[in-house]
Amino acid sequence: MSSGEENPFQGKDERVANLRQLAKWRATARVLTEALPHILRYDQKTVVVKYGGNAMGEEGVAEHFAQDVVLMRQTGIDPVIVHGGGPQIGAMLKRLEIKSSFIDGLRVTDQAAIDVVEMVLTGTINKQIVTAINSAGGRAVGVSGKDGQLIVAKKLVRTRKNPETGATETVDLGFVGEPEKVNTEVLQSIVRSDMIAVIAPIGIGEKGETYNINADTVAGAVAGALNADRMLLLTDVPGVMDRNGNLIESLTTTEARALIADGTISGGMIPKVETCIDAVERGVSAAVILDGRIQHVILIELFTEHGAGTMITRG
């Protein structure tokens, strides 16, 4: 007797239960069939995922994120993870009673702060993500930008106008850096070993200095250096919104710059969009800003027709 035929000896409740189970199986088969072209499209492609510190705070997010990353690897994608940790760093600084301030959204990082930043990013968050991926069946290895000189950095120099005098002045952010060079050999070695790299956004200067680097910036630099097919920025917002609060599903780099100029894109979204623009202009096929709090949002973005978030492409 085939699974689709009724058994006359079954009770009504059992037959209903079997029909419901069969419907679930058919739904699963339909999802897999629809996902197949997208799975083939990303086969043996590199996808860099920035896992934001804000997104990590949602209950159950870490487990679903790890499952998504493992499934990406099992379907032939080479995922590379870059993580943040701003809220966790802030909490630890407060706990240790170390004062912290921000200028233009960047944490001023003195010697005391950089020690805490490195401890939290490489010693706590990085290992938590690696453990979650390994527990989900993957093989992850945690590295910081200092390992193998993965990220050679230089001090970030920012200027701003003095509100009182109007004069341009240089802002000293302390041990805050920006990527100068990404050593792709380190990452390619990890990928060739069938492992998943999880990168803490710490860089090393030419004199051995430790630099705190914005995780979005690191993700963009890594994606560009690896010539990744996709860069996904997981954050705590749905994506880029228009003036009416509606999600903008796709933008070209030209359109994105125009929205920054007219004020539609503002605040903390500006550096994220600028990172996407930079990555795309470095050769990444597309960059996507999406809400990392949504369960399995990576799979929705990569393996469904409608995707999720805001995609930025060159043009």
Question: Over pLDDT 70: what percentage of the chain?
Answer: 86
Residue 53's pLDDT band (cuts 50, 70, 90): low
Greater confidence (306 vs 182) lies with 182
Residue 130 lies in a domain: yes
Residue 20 lies in a domain: no
The type of residue at 99 is K
Nearest partner of 62 among 126, 123, 120, judged by Cα: 126
Which three-class secondary structure state does DSSP give residue 287? strand
Provide the phi-psi class of 30: left if phi over 0, else alpha when psi is between -120 and 50, else beta.
alpha
CATH code of 156's domain: 3.40.1160.10
Query: Torsions phi, psi of 36, nearest 5?
Result: -55, -50
Is pLDDT at 184 greater than 60 in this prediction?
A: yes
Nearest partner of 217 among 58, 19, 52, 32, judged by Cα: 52
Residue 208 lies in a domain: yes
Residue 18 lies in a domain: no
Residue 8 lies in a domain: no
Q: What kind and span of H or E run contains 157?
A: none
Q: What kind and span of H or E run contains 227?
A: none
Residue 1's pLDDT band (cuts 50, 70, 90): very low
The whole-model pTM stands at: 0.83
The type of residue at 237 is V
What is the arithmetic mean of pLDDT over 274-285?
94
How much is the pLDDT for 135?
94
Greater confidence (121 vs 20) lies with 121
Residue 122 lies in a domain: yes
Distance of CA 162 to the CA centre of its chain: 34
Of 7-11, 53-57, 256-260, minimum mean pLDDT range: 7-11
Range of the domain at 57: 42-313
The type of residue at 238 is P
Is pLDDT at 3 greater than 60 in this prediction?
A: no
Residue 32 lies in a domain: no
pLDDT tens for each residue of 125-166: 999 999 999 999 999 999 999 999 999 999 998 877 777 777
Q: Number of H helices and number of E strands within the chain? A: 11, 16
Query: Torsions phi, psi of 93, nearest 5?
Result: -60, -40
Is pLDDT at 15 greater than 60 in this prediction?
A: yes
What is the chain's mean pLDDT, rounded? 86
Total domains in the fold of the chain: 1
Are 300 and 71 in contact by the 8 Å Cβ rule? The answer is no
Residue 9 lies in a domain: no
How much is the pLDDT for 16?
66
Q: What kind and span of H or E run contains 33?
A: helix 12-41
For every residue of 177-209, DSSP letters joined together read EEEEEE-HHHHHHHHHTT-EEEEE-EEE-TTS-
pLDDT tens for each residue of 248-273: 999 999 999 999 999 999 888 988 99
Nearest partner of 277 among 242, 312, 233, judged by Cα: 312
